[in-house]
């Protein structure tokens, strides 16, 4: 793909607006070396009054160029350049160009800069990497790289970087480091070489060989030429992330370079001074490079660096050298990066506090951008123990920002900062401000604010009545945004703390009095009154019948789930308040309950009614006893917030201080699960240091499943190669291969099937050098597929050493036909972080195919026998792969059926037959696949004696072509 | 780290797009549409940084043209913000008078002769200088249009 995608199709009105100054539109015919013909052409295009006229002009030009290129007369370099340039312009106008490539390649060997340049330009934009011209191009590049002409070398390097393809990388990646560190390379060449290498490294790191040049590249930080230094810093910052030790010497070099820049006068660096700020972007890059490492160990280096950081902070206080906004922007860019580094080190209390004060000034700056950035930076400062108190002093400004900022993104940063600076001392104030803000908050961020309030309220609750009030307020103000996690959690806490139960019952009872209350309030109210309604029953204003009729007055307005919950409340009432029994039985007995169309409601009504009439008081009391306390665990709300924000942002929400080593460099693999859909005992799966693992016994799958933490979506660790779903589909027609692979783990499969039996070998390979602990692969079979794990001694050993592979054997018996494959759930700990993934095991119904040979006559007879509409499944679909008869044949055989020749009158078509063997029954299958090469389509028809099997097979097979 | 660099006009037409991380060609159009939509929906009072999916957009508006840079989490917003301006100044100097219409053609020239990987990687001032020098080499000057940036 061309690196530059120029997709513009200009509209005439863009430059022919009524009243536009047309003299300005007329292109000035350029001076000097300019190509007059090109200028005229562009001017013609601009003057076209309609799209048609433009196309006509372009076609005329294309015909002209074509004839020139085809003509007998050899074109000189200038003409070639001109025509190639026109082609390029036409391409950028949005037209396809299908010739001229050869002429462009010819230009590469010109000795004139402008000709060569246009040649390279055309190639960078228009030639894709699999073109057959690539050999010629590479040759020209090779010549230019060896030419010792710096301008030509640069053009070649730029072309490599612009194309940046793997092929280019393979051809040149080894040469570029040599050019980069060669003593006689010109500055501009070194600069280009560094950036070219960076580009290739980013595209395919494996192609860039590390070697003795790495040591020399670090010394480019000392280079005289600032452009070389800047390019080198970019390259080193990228390379050192992989091999920090190899580049460790860059720390002291970067510090001394930074120190020289920071202390230089505002005009010392001449071209590299931007509005009186010396080399702002280079400074930022150096500061960023330093953030790849912990603070320097060498005291002298460290001293010098601290001096630099102080200088930057001091300069921020000095009067500006220019009133221009460019000056202050550049200065502030350095300042923010400096503060980032200070926060990264998190070891200099003095600097941290100064940084905080500096940001505090920005909080009231008139530039929105600065306020935004100050709030954002302060958020990370709040998590440092040294600056937490200093951040807290700005609470009023931040609250004011939350109230008055006009920009929602700034308000959101303010809310983040309030969350980060919250502790026991200011929790009540912050929570009440956030609640107030919630009433007018933008819809987009309400849910997040709700989560934050819920967490703060829980974390810093001194008395739980405040907590209950806060959550009920949340539901009242923003009921729609209160997710299940939030109201589950309040129930959990009320259940676990008996000192708040009476208060909670009283409060929800009062809240329910409101004429319109949110359904979530009904849920919480229903649950709490069902459990603890007895605690307020003494008050005649909230006597049992009053409680019941209050709840029941909401019943009809609620969704099925809430009504189901209320029915449970009612049966609990029967136990709590025997006097309500008759009324409630009446409600349950009503036709609207007993014959409710919703099966869940009907079942509850029937069962509860029977329970209340059949069971003795003792039995009722036991069955409907108060819920036992929930096991203590990390708040699932916190887990949800982390999920929402993604692991990157979580540090700001984190309780503990940032861990520099795990954040930026070498964080290793993000310890996140890929797909887990079962309740997890420790919600801290994101590997954050938020809370130590809960000491309480892990909740078993059954207990506490009210709070199911479903980890999915953004946190998923990318799997290498095909997605699990693709990998699974590949196994439909084959039995062996790699089922799953990510950076940690590879799972290979070998399997064989006979009749209704199968045996599958699973190979788990640890790709890291670290031992996996608690390694446990288990097979879950949701349907009728019985899976025995007969012998898995190696996998039972719960450790898998780094680089080792363990094997697990599954014996499989197919009892009946089935649709969903069994699932393989693998859990283990890697470097202390739990990992979990769930994959579909490649066991599909077609694995139990037994191929059946039959003559054409038999086939047609059986085909006719299976002529009921539900026995047939048909799909017409587009080919996703090239339509190759041999490949198709192999796939059909792999699928399991026999292929019958000479059955279909059309030899292009495929016909197959087989029997699916299960323990309970056999299913005969006939299939026919009709490829249509012209339309690139297939029609697949399956006939079997069982409807579900026909459909399922048809679907499985259709995905294979 | 810069992920992409876009120039889009108010009508939502992409004038230039350059990606420094692999993005499927057919996903680019969609991404660009969403990006410009979120830029257009903002007022002058709002800050120039937008949290967008798992990365950040930093944008500036020059007449009818938006320059939008997509960066990852750790990038220095202010540095990129000012870099955009510097880039525009360089363009202005390089081509004397630049219009949106010229941008795509000239930028192609500019990008390929200049800091291919990312002009930001080069650091701005060297670009200014190199740009002017290259200009003296005598490259394309097919025409330029008013509409001062």
The DSSP annotation for A679-711 comes to --S-S-TT--SSSPPPSSPPPPSSTTTTS---B
Residue B46 lies in a domain: yes
Q: Does the CB of A24 have a partner CB in chain B at under 8 Å? A: yes
Q: How many CB atoms lie under 10 A from the CB of residue A813?
A: 15
- List, for residues A380-435, the tens digit of each pLDDT value: 999 888 888 999 999 999 999 988 888 888 998 999 999 999 998 999 999 999 99
Do the domain assignments include residue B63? yes
Strand, helix or coil for residue A344: helix
- The pLDDT tens digits of the residues spanning A498-551 come to 888 999 999 999 999 988 889 999 999 999 999 999 999 888 898 999 999 999
* CA dist., res. A236 & res. A246, Å (int): 10
B5 touches chain A (CB under 8 A): no
- The pair of structure tokens assigned to A216 is 């020399």
Cα distance between residue A288 and residue A293, in whole Å: 10
Are A284 and B79 a contacting pair at CB < 8 A?
A: yes
Give how many domains chain B has, as a whole number: 1
| DSSP calls for A378-402 | HHHHTTSTTTHHHHHTTHHHHHHHH
Distance from CA of A271 to the nearest CA of B (A): 6
pLDDT over 50 (residue A486): yes
Distance CA A837, CA A727 (A): 15
pLDDT beyond 60 at A656: no
Q: How close B119 gets to chain A, by Cα (Å)?
A: 10
How far is B35 from chain A, CA to nearest CA, in Å? 15
Cβ of A28 within 8 Å of Cβ of B117? The answer is: no
Mean pLDDT of A620-644: 74
Residue of B nearest to A123 (CA): B112
Q: Is A346 left (phi over 0), alpha (psi -120 to 50) or beta?
A: left
Q: B79: domain CATH number?
A: 3.30.450.60
pLDDT mean over A126-137: 75
Rounded CA-CA distance B70/B54 in Å is 10
Write the pLDDT tens digit of every residue in A311-355.
999 999 999 989 999 999 999 999 999 999 999 998 889 999 999
3-class SS at A741? strand
Which residues does chain B have with pLDDT short of 50? 101, 104, 107-149
Judged by CB atoms closer than 8 Å, whether chains meet at B46 and A407 is answered as yes
According to DSSP, residue A924 is labeled E
DSSP assigned state of A540: G
Q: Is residue A848 within 8 Å of A826, Cβ to Cβ?
A: no
Q: For position A848, what pLDDT does the model report?
A: 85
Task: Name residues 188-247 of chain A within 8 A of B (Cβ).
Answer: 188, 191-192, 195-196, 198-199, 202-203, 226-227, 230-231, 234
pLDDT band at residue A190 using 50, 70 and 90 as cut-offs: very high
Q: Which of residues 14-33 of B touch A (CB under 8 A)?
A: 14-22, 25, 28-29
pLDDT at A633 over 90: no
Scanning every residue of chain A, which has its alpha carbon at the shortest distance from the alpha carbon of B132?
Answer: A271
Whether residue B141 and residue A31 make contact (CB cut-off 8 A), yes or no, is yes
Report the distance separating Cα A869 and Cα A876, nearest Å.
17
- For the stretch A236-261, pLDDT in tens is 999 998 888 889 999 999 999 999 99
Q: Which of A185-189, A567-571, A723-727 has the lowest mean pLDDT?
A: A723-727
What pLDDT sits at residue B48? 93
Test A336 with B100 for CB contact under 8 angstroms: no
Question: Does residue B34 belong to the interface with chain A, where contact is any CB pair within 8 Å?
Answer: no
Q: What is the pLDDT of residue B94?
A: 65
CA distance A645 to chain B (A): 9
The annotation status of A82 as a binding-site residue, yes or no, is: yes
> For all residues of chain A together, what is the average pLDDT?
80
Does residue B46 belong to the interface with chain A, where contact is any CB pair within 8 Å? yes
pLDDT higher than threshold 90 for residue A373: yes
Query: Which chain B residues are within 8 Å of A408, Cβ to Cβ?
Result: 46
Q: Which residues have C-beta within 8 Å of that of residue A312, sequence separation ≥ 6?
A: A262, A334, A335, A338
Alpha helix positions (H), A148-223: 150-163, 166-172, 175-181, 187-203, 213-218
pLDDT digits (tens, 9 = 90+) for A43-53: 888 788 888 99
Residue B148: list chain A partners with CB under 8 A.
Answer: none
What is residue A681's predicted lDDT score, i.e. its pLDDT? 35
Q: What local confidence, expressed as pLDDT, does residue A353 receive?
A: 92
DSSP A99: S
pLDDT higher than 70, residue A706: no
> What percentage of chain A reaches a pLDDT higher than 70?
84
B16–A326 CB contact, under 8 Å: no
CA atoms within 13 A on the CB side of A445: 24
Residue A391 confidence (pLDDT): 92
Q: How confident is the model at residue A161 (pLDDT cuts 50, 70, 90)?
A: confident
Which of the residues B14, B90, B121, B135 would you substitute to probe the A interface, choosing the one with the greatest number of A C-beta atoms within 10 Å? Answer: B121
Average pLDDT over every residue of A660-668? 32
In this structure, what token pair is assigned to residue A207?
């192609």
Contact list, B108 vs chain A (CB under 8 Å): 4, 6, 88, 92, 121, 125
Q: Cβ–Cβ of B15/A8 closer than 8 Å?
A: yes
Q: CB–CB of A33 and B85 under 8 A?
A: no
- List the CATH code of the domain at A346-421: 1.25.10.10
The residue ranking higher by pLDDT, A960 or A656, is: A960
Q: Which of B113, B116, B143 sits opposite A39 (nearest CB)?
A: B143
- Helix H or strand E encompassing A55: helix A51-70
- Measured CA to CA in angstroms, residue A523 lies from A563, A596, A668 at distances of 9, 20, 44
pLDDT tens, A544-573?
999 999 999 999 889 999 999 999 999 999
User: What is A846-959's CATH topology?
Assistant: TATA-Binding Protein (3.30.310)
For residue B149, tell me if it sits in a domain: no
In this structure, are strands A910-917 and A898-899 parallel, antiparallel, or unpaired? antiparallel
Instruction: Give the pLDDT of residue A288.
Output: 94
- Chain A residue numbers touching B9 (CB-CB < 8 A): 14
**Six-digit token string for A791:** 């012998």
Assess whether pLDDT exceeds 50 at residue A949: yes
pLDDT digits (tens, 9 = 90+) for A670-685: 333 333 333 333 333 3
At residue A718, does pLDDT exceed 70?
no
In this prediction, residue B99 carries a pLDDT of: 54
Has residue B10 been placed in a domain?
A: yes
Dihedrals phi, psi of A932, to nearest 5 degrees = -125, 95
Contact A226 B123 (CB under 8 A): yes
Q: Does B112 touch chain A (CB under 8 A)?
A: yes
Q: Quick one: average pLDDT of A635-640?
A: 66
B36 chain-A contacts, CB cut-off 8 A: none
Asked if residue B143 belongs to a domain, the reply is no
**Interface check B96 vs A, CB under 8 A:** no
- Asked whether residue B121 is domain-assigned, the answer is no
Tokens 């070649």 sit on residue = A156
- Tell me the pLDDT band of A787, cut-offs 50, 70 and 90: low
- A724-843 carries CATH number 2.60.120.260: no
Q: What is residue A688's predicted lDDT score, i.e. its pLDDT?
A: 33
Nearest Cβ partner of B18 from A4, A271, A340? A4
**Mean pLDDT across the stretch A136-141?**
91
Site of tokens 């793997």: A166
Most confident of A120-124, A294-298, A597-601, A887-891: A294-298
Give domain status of residue B49, yes or no.
Answer: yes
3-state secondary structure labels for all residues of chain B: CEEEEEEEECCCCEEEEEECCCCCHHHHHHHHHHHHHHHHCCCCCCCCEEEECCEEEEEEEECCEEEEEEECCCCCHHHHHHHHHHHHHHHHHHHCCCCHHHHHHHHHHHHHHCCCCCHHHHCHHHHHHHHHHHHHHHCCCCCCCCCCC
A129: confidence class by pLDDT, cuts 50, 70, 90:
low
A759 labeled binding residue: no
Among A479-493, A808-822, A889-903, where is mean pLDDT lowest?
A: A808-822
* Confidence at residue A784, expressed as pLDDT on a 0 to 100 scale: 56
CB contact under 8 A, A333 and B25: no
Closest CB from B11, B13, B17 relative to A5: B17
A9 touches chain B (CB under 8 A): yes
pLDDT reported for residue A41: 85
- Provide the domain limits for residue B75: 2-98
């Amino acid at each position: 793909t061309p690196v530059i995608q120029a997709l513009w199709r200009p509209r005439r009105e863009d430059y022919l607006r009524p009243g536009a100054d047309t003299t300005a539109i007329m292109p000035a015919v350029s001076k000097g070396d300019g190509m007059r013909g090109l200028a005229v052409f562009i001017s013609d295009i601009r003057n076209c009054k309609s799209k048609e006229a433009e196309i006509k002009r372009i076609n005329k030009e294309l015909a002209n160029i074509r004839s020139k290129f085809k003509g007998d007369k050899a074109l000189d370099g200038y003409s070639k350049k001109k025509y190639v340039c026109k082609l390029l312009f036409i391409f950028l106008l949005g037209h396809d160009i299908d010739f001229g490539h050869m002429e462009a390649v010819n230009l590469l060997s010109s000795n004139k800069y402008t000709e060569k340049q246009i040649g390279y330009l055309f190639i960078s934009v228009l030639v894709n990497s699999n073109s057959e011209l690539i050999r010629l191009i590479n040759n020209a590049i090779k010549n230019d790289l060896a030419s010792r002409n710096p301008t030509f070398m640069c053009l070649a390097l730029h072309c490599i970087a612009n194309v940046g393809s793997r092929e280019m990388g393979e051809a040149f990646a080894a040469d570029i480091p040599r050019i980069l560190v060669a003593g006689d390379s010109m500055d501009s060449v070194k600069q280009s070489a560094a950036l070219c290498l960076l580009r290739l490294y980013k595209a395919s790191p494996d192609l860039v060989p590390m070697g003795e040049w790495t040591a020399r590249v670090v010394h480019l930080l000392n280079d005289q030429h600032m452009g070389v230094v800047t390019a080198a810093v970019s390259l080193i910052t990228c390379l050192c992330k992989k091999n920090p030790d190899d580049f460790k010497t860059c720390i002291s070099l970067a510090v001394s370079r930074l120190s020289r820049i920071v202390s230089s006068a505002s005009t010392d660096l001449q071209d590299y001074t931007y509005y009186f700020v010396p080399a702002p972007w280079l400074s930022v890059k150096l500061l960023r490079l330093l953030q790849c490492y912990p603070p320097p160990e060498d005291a002298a280096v460290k001293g010098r660096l601290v001096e630099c950081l102080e200088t930057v902070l001091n300069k921020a206080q000095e009067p500006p050298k220019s009133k221009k906004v460019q000056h202050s922007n550049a200065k502030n860019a350095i300042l923010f990066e400096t503060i980032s580094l200070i926060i990264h080190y998190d070891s200099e209390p003095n600097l941290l506090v100064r940084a905080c004060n500096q940001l505090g000034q920005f909080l009231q700056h008139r530039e929105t951008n600065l306020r935004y950035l100050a709030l954002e930076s302060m958020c990370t400062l709040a998590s440092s123990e040294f600056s937490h108190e200093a951040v807290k002093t700005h609470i009023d400004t931040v609250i004011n920002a939350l109230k008055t900022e006009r920009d929602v993104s700034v308000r959101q940063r303010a809310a983040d900062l309030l969350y980060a600076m919250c502790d026991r001392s200011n929790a009540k104030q912050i929570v009440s401000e956030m609640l107030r803000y919630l009433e007018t908050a933008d819809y987009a961020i309400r849910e997040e604010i709700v989560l934050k309030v819920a967490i703060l309220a829980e974390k810093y609750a001194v008395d739980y009545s405040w907590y209950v009030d806060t959550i009920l307020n949340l539901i009242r103000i923003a009921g729609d945004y209160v997710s299940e996690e939030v109201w589950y959690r309040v129930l959990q806490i009320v259940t676990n703390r008996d000192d708040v139960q009476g208060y909670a019952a009283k409060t929800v009872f009062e809240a329910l009095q409101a004429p319109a209350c949110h359904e979530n309030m009904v849920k919480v109210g229903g649950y709490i009154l069902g459990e603890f309604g007895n605690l307020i029953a003494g008050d005649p204003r909230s006597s049992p019948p009053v409680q019941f009729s209050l709840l029941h007055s909401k019943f009809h307005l609620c969704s099925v789930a809430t009504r189901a919950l209320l029915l449970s409340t009612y049966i609990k009432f029967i136990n709590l308040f025997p006097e309500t029994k008759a009324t409630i039985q009446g409600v349950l007995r009503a036709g609207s309950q007993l014959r409710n169309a919703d099966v869940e409601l009907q079942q509850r009504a029937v069962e509860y009614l029977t329970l209340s009439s059949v069971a003795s008081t003792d039995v009722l009391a036991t069955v409907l006893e108060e819920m036992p306390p929930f096991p203590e665990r990390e708040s699932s709300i916190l887990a949800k917030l982390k999920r929402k924000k993604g692991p990157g942002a979580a540090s700001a929400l984190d309780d503990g201080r940032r861990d520099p080593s795990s954040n930026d460099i070498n964080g290793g693999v993000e310890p996140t699960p890929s797909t887990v859909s079962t309740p997890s005992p420790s919600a801290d799966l994101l590997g954050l240091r938020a809370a130590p693992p809960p000491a309480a016994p892990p909740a078993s799958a059954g207990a506490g499943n009210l709070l199911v933490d479903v980890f999915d979506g953004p946190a998923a660790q990318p799997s290498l190669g095909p997605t699990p779903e693709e990998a699974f589909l590949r196994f439909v027609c084959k039995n062996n291969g790699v089922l799953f692979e990510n950076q940690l783990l590879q799972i290979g499969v070998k399997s064989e099937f006979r009749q209704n039996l199968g045996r599958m070998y699973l190979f788990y390979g640890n790709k890291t050098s670290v031992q996996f602990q608690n390694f446990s692969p288990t097979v879950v079979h949701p349907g009728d597929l019985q899976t025995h794990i007969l012998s898995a001694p190696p996998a039972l050993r719960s450790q898998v050493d780094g680089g080792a592979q363990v094997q697990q054997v599954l014996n499989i018996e197919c009892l009946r036909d089935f649709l969903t494959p069994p699932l393989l759930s693998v859990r283990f700990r890697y470097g202390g972080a739990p990992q979990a993934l769930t994959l579909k095991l490649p066991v599909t119904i077609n694995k139990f195919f037994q191929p059946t040979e039959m003559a054409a006559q038999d086939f047609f007879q059986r085909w006719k026998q299976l002529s009921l509409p539900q026995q047939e499944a048909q799909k017409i679909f587009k080919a996703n792969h090239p339509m190759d008869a041999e490949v198709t044949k192999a796939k059909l055989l792999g699928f399991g059926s026999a292929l019958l020749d000479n059955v279909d009158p059309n030899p292009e078509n495929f016909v197959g037959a087989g029997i699916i063997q299960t323990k309970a029954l056999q299913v005969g299958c006939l299939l026919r696949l009709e490829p249509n090469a012209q339309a690139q389509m297939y029609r697949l028809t399956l006939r079997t004696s069982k409807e579900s099997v026909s459909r399922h097979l048809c679907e499985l097979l259709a995905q294979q072509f | 780290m810069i992920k992409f660099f876009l120039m889009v006009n108010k009508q939502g037409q992409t004038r230039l797009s350059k990606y420094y991380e692999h993005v499927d060609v057919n996903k680019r159009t969609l991404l660009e549409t969403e990006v410009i939509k979120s830029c257009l929906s903002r007022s002058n009072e709002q800050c120039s940084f937008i949290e967008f999916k798992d990365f950040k957009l930093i944008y500036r508006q020059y007449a009818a043209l938006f320059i939008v840079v997509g960066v990852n989490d750790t990038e220095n917003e202010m540095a990129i913000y000012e870099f955009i301006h510097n880039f525009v100044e360089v363009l202005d100097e390089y081509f004397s008078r630049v219009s949106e219409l010229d941008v795509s053609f000239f930028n192609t020239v500019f990008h390929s002769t200049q800091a291919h990987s990312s002009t930001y990687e080069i650091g701005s001032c060297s670009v200014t200088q190199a740009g002017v020098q290259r200009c003296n080499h005598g490259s394309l000057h097919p025409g330029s249009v008013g509409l001062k940036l």
